[in-house]
Structure 1
Amino acid sequence: MKKVSKNNPIPLHYQIKEILQEMIENEVLKPGQSIPTEREICEIQGVSRMTVNKAIMSLVNEGLIYREQGKGTFVSIPKVNREISRLKGFTEQMEENGLISKTKILSYKIINATKQCKFELKMPENEDKIFEIKRLRFSDEQPVAIETACLPYFLYNGMTRDMIEDKPLYGIFREIYGYHPYKATQSIEPTMLSEYESKLLNQENGALALIFRQTTYMENETPIELTKAIYRSDKYKYQITLK
């Protein structure tokens, strides 16, 4: 481990953070591997416990490392990268990152659409029913997202829970209904997890997360899906391609 310079104007905690980050990026410290303890870093760097703790918490907040009560502090598995320039379903995203995905249906019901939902889905005036499907999405056995999909009832005649069990919705759209997702509008914003959401995602209450809201369209501009997905920020990041 490199040593901090006490003559450097950069704060000591920030120097330690950069030293650890460099070790992670160079795979001196590998994903899943424990990092040196706070006491060990204090001894190596000749700094206070508070200084080291500040550096470590900064890395935890960035998702580069994580803590397990009574076990230690470990290097995080690299976050799943979501490319915003292409329209892809969750399963396809996981496969492209070499990960195994799994889905658990939390609820499946037919409900009355809200005014906002009807507007977003451009539903006819005489249609007011939607399928509301809540699912917990897993990546390599770890829960990473809570997704709520709203589908216009009149577009998905005969859809049942069994039809979508362990199957990607985009596959159902194409293979059963002949709907081919062509484009989507999406917004992304930060949020804090509620107690219920925290339990589902194995996070602390109030942990930071990302909300993705998306409306998916066919080529003829017909909306076929409205979704809200809450992703763990320690497991997920997004990438935007600009041209």
Structure 2
Amino acid sequence: MRDSAPRAVTAICQALEEQIEHGLLQAGHKLPAERKLSDVFATTRITLREALVQLEARGLVYREERRGWFISPPRLRYDLNARSHFHAMVQAQGRNAHTELLSAQAQPASAAVCGHLGLAPLSRVFSICRRRRIDGRLVLYVEHHLNPAFFPELLEHDLSQPLTELYARQYGIEYGQVRFEVAPTALGAQAAAALKVSAGSPGLRIVRVNRDRQGQVIDCDLEYWRHDAIALVATHG
């Protein structure tokens, strides 16, 4: 396959895509090291890396720092109209969910969070940072920012559990209206480190501003997803 770089990149992409389509390379399968793959395709590591990056952009493979390249699993269907939490959504699609608590503290809210929650400048909020896996793969880093007025002594609870269930059980609060803001993004240092990818990697940023059944804004979530991990769905009746 010693040919011009563009043709070599195309050929590598086609070969790997064919292997994936026929099930020879299955979801979660770890690809050989780049050096070995470059030998297989008789090309340079630079050309090979360009092909892998193109496949990554299409959601067919993904990379984890210090671990290598893997075949991407199917995307999770993320229904914007569903009143469901991460674990329930993942399990309903026959997959395994896991949440890891990274930090939880009371702190001054950023200007953006004050805006989302309708709080005065420098108001304090409960900030909870977590990362989440689907079938063992890191896919989501999320920052939850809660108005403490609705959740006294929140930090004393197990915050690795679904917050939706904690709200209902401990505070009698259920979600009402939810507003979403969705935009592609380059993952910042904190989100990238949590997801074990390089800073600047492509991602999807979802801002959820949540109200209770009485219409009061109670919290907001800043979600940073791997770009190939979800497919957004919205159904209107």
- 1:112 to 1:213, Cα distance in 2 relative to 1, 3 A: same
Amino acid at match of 1:239: L
Give 1:89's aligned residue. 85
More displaced 10-residue stretch of structure 1: 193-202 or 32-41: 32-41
Task: Verify the 8 A CA contact 1:145 1:232 in the aligned structure 2.
Answer: yes
Shift of 1:230: 1.3
Query: Which residue identity does 1:238 align to in structure 2?
Result: A
Cα distance in 2 for residues equivalent to 1:157 and 1:70 = 41
1:155-211, Cα deviation, whole Å (9 max, x unpaired)? 1123233x1333110001111111111231111222223344322211123211221
Are the equivalent residues in 2 in contact too, given 1:137–1:146 (CA < 8 A)? yes
Structure 1 counterpart of 2:188, one-letter code = S
Partner of 1:165: 159
The alpha carbon displacement at 1:216 in A equals 1.0
Q: Deviations over 1:29-54 (max 9, x none)?
A: 32234669454456xxxxx6687665
Matched, 1:131 2:123: no
Which residue of the partner structure matches residue 175 of structure 2?
A: 181
Segments of 5+ residues of structure 2 without an aligned counterpart are: 1-6
| 2:224 maps to 1:240 | no
Identity %: 21
> Please, what is the CA RMSD of the aligned residues?
3.3
Whether the 8 Å CA contact 2:77–2:231 is kept in 1: the answer is: yes
TM-score normalised to the size of structure 1?
A: 0.75
Alignment of 1:134-149 (within 5 A): 134-149=129-144
- Judged with a 3 Å threshold, the aligned counterparts in structure 2 of structure 1 residues 24 and 118 are, in CA distance, closer, same or farther, namely same
Pairing partner for 2:108 from 84, 90, 112: 112
Match of 2:13 in 1: 17
Name the residue aligned to 1:220. 214
Structure 1 residue 131: deviation in Å?
1.2
Aligned to 1:30: 26
**2:77–2:233 contact (8 Å) kept in structure 1:** no
Given that 2:64 and 2:196 are in contact with CA atoms closer than 8 Å, whether structure 1 keeps it comes out as no
Say how many residue pairs are matched.
225
Distance between the aligned counterparts of 2:183 and 2:191, measured in 1?
16
What does the per-residue CA deviation read over 1:48-91, in whole Å, with 9 as the maximum and x for residues that have no partner? 66876654431122231245799975422223332223232222
Q: Aligned residue for 1:7? A: none
In the aligned structure 2, how far is the partner of 1:146 from the partner of 1:223? 22
Length-normalised TM-score, structure 2 = 0.76
How far is 1:228 from its partner?
A: 0.6
